[in-house]
Amino acid sequence: MMKHKNTADPSHPEKPERISAIFSKHEEYGLLKRCHMLKARSVSQEELLLLHTQEHINLMQETACMKLQELAKKQDDFRSVYLHPGSYQAACLAAGSVLQVVDSVLNGESRSGVAIVRPPGHHAEEDEPCGFCMFNNVSLAAKYAIQVHGLKRILLLDWDVHHGNGSQHMFESDPRVLYLSIHRYDNGSFFPGSKDANYSVVGTGKGEGYNVNIPWNKSGMSDAEYLTAFYQVVLPISYQFSPELVLVSSGFDACIGDPLGDAASRRDVCCGTTAQLSTSCSSSARSRVWNRL
């Protein structure tokens, strides 16, 4: 996953050091020796087809055989995506590793899990990459948990500063996955720049009421706003839904110092409140809070 990089712009925020820095912090805090380490694995074509179209998978696969010059042209077909000859392999490892964690948690080998993976996924649609994302890792995890493990209620909490357009679209008519996102909105002008991210978008058909957007219309949201959103909206809805599994799209661009989000929240606030989500899991289920970084 470290091979995927923007060779034309090494300062691009979605860079290999994102995951090495997070991994190093786990080591520094002594967390690695307290964790059961799982081996990364590549996602299979069959698993990708749970969510993505064959055309999209083929298109991403073809990028692995292209030269940098060709890729530079190809990436212009998409919104805010860069491609590298190592991108496809990295994306397959990211998606497959997330499924490894899901298996470990749902098979009862782990109480909860963290997947330190890249490229990220929540902007990827079923038929196109978007916003640094190739395959929608966390949505694939939700589909996999339904299809392979037979789950019926999954909470997908997305606290990345951007709205997860892909994740919302995958499940907006599906009541088995409750998508709940806290993001910067700026009246629709903040990336991905769609009115789909507004609070009035609540799901369709059987999925009506299972899509919850908490859009901020300005920058600089701090701990107070995030804590209010968690205690007034996220936790009450989570308790009512009583999920069997909680998946978290935990992009760190909503915290202090991030150049994209320009927010002022501390990540430990979100992490602390997310830990409380484990108590919202159905009593028959184990505590399954699970972060995807």
Binding residues for Zn ion, rule: CB under 5 A, are 160, 162, 251, 253
Closer residue to Zn ion (CB): 113 or 120: 120
Specify the residue, 140 or 255, whose C-beta has the smaller distance to Zn ion: 255
Do 115 and 97 form a contact (C-beta atoms < 8 A)?
yes
State the nearest-atom distance from the C-beta of 69 to Zn ion, in Å.
28
Find the shortest distance in angstroms from Cβ 253 to Zn ion. Answer: 4
The closest alpha carbon to 183, from 140, 136, 131, belongs to 131
Indicate the residue among 45 and 219 with the shorter CB distance to Zn ion. Answer: 219
Between 204 and 219, name the residue whose CB sits nearer to Zn ion.
Answer: 219
Q: Smallest distance from the beta carbon of 106 to Zn ion, in angstroms? A: 27
Is residue 249 packed enough to be buried (19+ CB in 10 Å), middle (13-18) or exposed (0-12)?
A: buried
The Cα-based distances of 139 to 58, 124, 151, 154, 260 in angstroms read 19, 9, 14, 10, 23
Tell me which of 84, 122, 123, 162 is the catalytic residue: 123
Q: Which residue is nearest to Zn ion (CB)?
A: 162
**Minimum Å distance from CB 263 to Zn ion?**
11
> Contacts for 231-238 with beta carbons within 8 Å, 24 or more apart?
231/273, 233/180, 234/157, 234/180, 234/182, 234/273, 234/277, 235/273, 235/276, 235/277, 235/280, 237/178, 237/180, 237/212, 238/155, 238/157, 238/180, 238/277, 238/280
Residue 162 is among the residues annotated as catalytic for this protein: no
CB of 165 to Zn ion, least distance (A): 11
CA 19 to CA 24: how far, in whole Å?
8
Closer of 143 and 162 to Zn ion (Cβ):
162
* Catalytic positions: 123
